[in-house]
Amino acid sequence: MRYYVGFDIGGSSIKYGLLDENGKISQKESFKTPSDKDEVLDKMAEIVSAFTKDYEVEAIGLSVPGIVEENGFLTTAGAILCLYGINIKEELSQRTGLFVHAENDANAASIAEQWGGAAHDVANYISLVIGTGIGGCLVVNNEIFRGAHARSGEFGWMLLDDNQDDLNSNTMNLQAATILGLLRIYNLKSGEELSDARTIYDRAEKGEYLAQTVLAKFHRKLAQGILNVAVSFDPAMVVIGGGISANETFLKDLRLAYEQLQNEHSALVDMDFPAIIPAEFGNDAGIIGAVYSAKIALDKES
């Protein structure tokens, strides 16, 4: 049995796990993200070394926020400032002697779903990860489409309106993400400081008018962004990830808004559109996707 080590590098913590060649996680832990580059890399190398004492580790997969070049160079790394401008693939490979592959975190979470998840055996699909902002990924012919500058899938930057007085507020991030969109808008209108979107859904269910109106606009704006991407790329399905994707009311209302937009758009009425499907791997998606990407990259080099 061949084994792989996956790391999901986040701003506050780094999750890691040991996976077998079938994608099953046998061990999983996490540690606080250090603020020093060498501490990050040395700690990961130490973990890999411990695994190699008992298992035949083939490769290491990394899920990293920010702009990740195909060669492993991190143009940016989200909130992890100490990793900006380094080739994390080369540095960790030098420390471990193993094959390393680095992938953007949204790409990793997306491609994970092809390895026995929501997009199993689907060659062409779109994935959106809805959280603080909106990231995503295009999978074309079973491969991640990266674009000319490794920025493909940044759906959150799309403009949904054209208010010239405040153009940034019209982005998908600020209209249709969970935190920058839904929670921000509700808090502005209510004067509160809610931090959990589930509270808004609970209030809407109990009849609160503000919660109901804010949610209705949130679902429509997100559906608008999804429809724009769907008509552009004609995917077989749209996979929705992020914590909110586990909320059944969210999925039901998003699908209704998506169908309503299609019905209102006269050119689209008789066309088939990809279904919106929730992601299956949840918090493990980064680790699984990092390993799956590494496995694919290693197989190509072999």
Write down the residue that tokens 């909110």 correspond to: 244
What is residue 109's DSSP assignment? Answer: H
Tokens of 34: 């250090």
Residue 157 scores a pLDDT above 70: yes
Q: In what order do the strands lie in the sheet with 99-104?
A: 25-32, 13-20, 3-9, 57-64, 99-104
Half-sphere exposure of 198 (CA within 13 A, CB side): 6
Helix (H, G, I), strand (E, B) or coil at 77: coil
* 288 and 281 Cβ atoms separated by less than 8 Å: yes
For residue 94, name the pLDDT band (cuts at 50, 70, 90). very high
For residue 164, name the pLDDT band (cuts at 50, 70, 90). low
What is residue 182's DSSP assignment? Answer: I
User: What pLDDT is stored for residue 77 in this prediction?
Assistant: 94
- Read off the pLDDT of each residue in 197-201 and give the average, rounded to a whole number: 97
User: What pLDDT is stored for residue 196 in this prediction?
Assistant: 95
- Read off the pLDDT of each residue in 228-244 and give the average, rounded to a whole number: 94
Q: What is the rounded end-to-end Cα distance, in angstroms, of the chain?
A: 17
Q: What is the pTM of this model?
A: 0.88
**Pairwise CA distance, residues 87 & 69, whole Å:** 9
Residue 202 scores a pLDDT above 70: yes
Helix (H, G, I), strand (E, B) or coil at 87: strand
For residue 270, name the pLDDT band (cuts at 50, 70, 90). confident
User: What pLDDT is stored for residue 58 in this prediction?
Assistant: 96
* 36 and 53 Cβ atoms separated by less than 8 Å: no
The share of the chain scoring above pLDDT 70, in percent, equals: 99
Domains, the chain, ordered by start: 3-111+283-301 (3.30.420.40), 122-279 (3.30.420.40)
- Read off the pLDDT of each residue in 91-100 and give the average, rounded to a whole number: 97
User: What pLDDT is stored for residue 272 in this prediction?
Assistant: 85
- Read off the pLDDT of each residue in 104-129 and give the average, rounded to a whole number: 94
Per-position b or e across 228-238, b if 16+ CB within 10 A of its CB: bbbeeeebebb
Phi, psi torsion values for 226, nearest 5 degrees: -65, -40
Helix (H, G, I), strand (E, B) or coil at 30: strand
Q: What are 21-58's pLDDT values in tens digits?
A: 999 999 999 999 999 999 999 999 999 999 999 999 99
Strands 134-140 and 143-145 turn out to be antiparallel
Residue 150 scores a pLDDT above 70: yes
* 17 and 287 Cβ atoms separated by less than 8 Å: yes
* 246 and 278 Cβ atoms separated by less than 8 Å: yes
